């Protein structure tokens, strides 16, 4: 059995907004090849939450190819199944971008390790990172290639642990694979019970998944940055990623060690009317007291410091 494990990371709430794709081609339990590609998302904008989760920013993808060019590297691979963790999400990403960019998605059966694991454990759906901790599978979560590889290993784990061949496994647990036809995804058929959660939050430093960010240079090594206001040029999450990639340090608050306070355009406009955020006011107090040489900078100043004029 040959199967292509896929993972898509998206830039915003649109499932077509693929900004990274990871793949792992398996021949039974053996990985034949794996890799990942950065993709220019469509539509091209980045949500705060997405950036905080996957560590991908617009500056990292602005010169990347669209998905329709990346897919040529994948469709030439020989495989019998797609495998994803939460296939409903990933396959809808695939079919929506296929419709948007006018290409035909490969029509092969689709397996979902999230659904398969929930049937084995007789439980609700379990995230990939929790299942990997449970099974001892290595994972650098939300790195697209790592997620795809872990997904494939998880499928092999379930088959080996149960002692079933795939066809017997599906029959035993009453699962009918999903299918793609005419760029429409039909989800796997199974017994399901799932609560729906919908939440948004403003990411802080502790929320950022910085471990998967590829370093760019050390231009900001050791310099501490804090932020105030809603930025227009990029989101705060993107700003923190780009500082981290250049060796800088992100902080939630202004202290004596802070080198730069990045003030959003809106915060400067409010300051002209006498309204200062707590960070803005503290930075001014530290500077005027002579206790700190903190630089209070605009969004454009910040872009210049990043070297992205």
Phi, psi values for residue 302, rounded to 5°: -60, -45
Same domain, residue pair 25 and 158: yes
Residue 199 placed within a domain: no
Domain-embedded: residue 225: yes
Whether 16 maps to a domain, the answer reads: yes
Residues 149 and 210 in one domain: no
Query: pLDDT tens-digit profile of 96-154?
Result: 999 999 999 999 999 999 999 998 887 778 899 989 988 889 999 999 999 999 999 99
Rounded to whole angstroms, how far apart are CA atoms 85 and 6?
8
Among the three residues 186, 213, 245, which one is the final residue of a domain in this structure?
Answer: 186
Same domain flag for 22 and 123: yes
Whether residues 113 and 147 share a domain: the answer is yes
Clarify whether residues 99 and 18 are in a common domain: yes
The reply to whether 194 falls in a domain is no
- Whether residues 9 and 152 share a domain: the answer is yes
81 occurs within a structural domain: yes
Domain check: are 141 and 230 in the same one?
no
- What is the span of the domain harbouring residue 115? 2-186
Sign of CA dihedral 258, 234, 207, 210: negative
Are residues 19 and 130 located together in one domain of the fold?
yes
pLDDT at 196 over 90: no
pLDDT for 197:
34
CATH code assigned at 128: 3.30.420.10
Number of domains the chain is built from: 2
Q: Is residue 160 assigned to a domain?
A: yes
Q: What percent of the chain has pLDDT over 90?
A: 78
What does the pLDDT read at residue 125? 84
**Whether residue 58 is found in the same domain as residue 171:** yes
**b/e for 47-64, b at 16 or more Cβ within 10 A?**
bbbbbbbbbbbbbbbeeb
Reduced 3-state DSSP string for 221-265: CCCEEEEECCCCCCCHHHHHHHHHHCCCEECCCCCCCCCEEEECH
The answer on 161 and 58 residing in a single domain is yes
Average pLDDT, the chain: 91
| Average pLDDT for 179-187 | 95
Assess contact for 298 and 263: CB atoms under 8 A.
yes
Q: What is the mean pLDDT of the segment spanning 269-295?
A: 93
Classify residue 300: in a domain, yes or no.
yes
- The whole-number pLDDT of residue 92 equals 97
What CATH number should be reported for the domain holding residue 300? 3.40.50.10190
165 and 69 within one domain: yes
- Whether 25 is covered by a domain: the verdict is yes
Give the number of C-alpha atoms closer than 13 A to the C-alpha of residue 128, restricted to the C-beta side: 26
pTM for the full predicted model: 0.78
């Amino acid at each position: 059995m040959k199967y292509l494990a896929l993972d898509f990371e998206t830039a915003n709430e649109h499932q077509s907004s693929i900004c990274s794709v990871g793949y792992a081609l398996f021949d039974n339990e053996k990985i034949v090849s794996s890799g990942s590609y950065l993709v220019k998302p469509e539509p091209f904008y980045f949500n705060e939450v997405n950036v905080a989760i996957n560590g991908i920013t617009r500056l990292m993808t602005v010169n990347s190819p669209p998905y329709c060019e990346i897919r040529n590297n994948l469709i030439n691979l020989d495989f019998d199944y797609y495998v994803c963790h939460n296939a409903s999400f990933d396959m809808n990403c695939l079919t929506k971008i296929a419709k948007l960019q006018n290409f035909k998605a490969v029509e092969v059966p689709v397996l979902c390790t999230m659904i398969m694991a929930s049937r084995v454990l007789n439980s609700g759906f379990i995230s990939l990172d929790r299942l990997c901790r449970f099974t001892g599978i290595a994972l650098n979560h939300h790195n697209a290639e790592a997620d795809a590889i872990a997904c494939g290993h998880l499928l092999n784990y379930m088959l080996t642990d149960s002692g079933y061949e795939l066809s017997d496994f599906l029959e035993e647990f009453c699962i009918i694979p999903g299918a793609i036809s005419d760029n429409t995804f039909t989800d796997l058929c199974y017994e399901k019970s799932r609560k729906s959660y919908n939440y948004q939050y403003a990411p802080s430093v502790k929320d950022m998944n910085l471990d998967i960010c590829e370093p760019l240079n050390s231009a900001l090594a050791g310099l501490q940055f804090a932020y105030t206001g809603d930025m227009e040029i990029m989101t705060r999450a993107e700003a923190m990623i780009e500082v981290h990639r250049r060796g800088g340090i992100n902080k939630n608050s202004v202290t004596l060690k802070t080198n730069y306070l990045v003030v959003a355009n809106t915060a400067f406009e409010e300051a002209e009317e006498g309204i200062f955020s707590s960070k803005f006011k503290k930075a001014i107090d530290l500077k005027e007291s002579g206790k700190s040489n903190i630089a209070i900078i605009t969004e454009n100043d910040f872009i210049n410091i990043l070297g992205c004029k």
